[in-house]
Amino acid sequence: MALVGVLAFRWVFGVPILAPHGAGAYGNVHKTEYVLTAALAAVIATGLIHLLLLTTPPFGFLGWIIALATLAAMLFPFRTTAPLSPKFATGAVNLCIGIAIGSLFTGVGN
């Protein structure tokens, strides 16, 4: 989801998300770090839902945890000195990643 979102914003909309325009379609190493961080977030969510399934009714807690983590990930790009359009693009990609993780784990936990 992270890679597709970044490439879509760079190719389709021409927004220099996570790298300047001159860095090409993929950009630089920051995209790889971004994709790996998104994968790590999914692994952490897997451990979290496992822990919640063992100890609590998971879906009330899991929904709030994922929603707050997604909100934090959406707001984080606005702390940088990048131009406004890449900030919004990164926030939108982070929102899509959060929705994907939340919907997949809600379905798996049933």
More confident residue, 62 or 106: 62
Give tens-digit pLDDT for 23-80.
555 566 677 888 899 999 989 988 888 888 888 776 677 888 889 999 999 999 899 8
Answer whether residue 16 shows pLDDT above 70. yes
The model carries a pTM of 0.80
CA nearest to 92, candidates 25, 27, 26, 10: 10
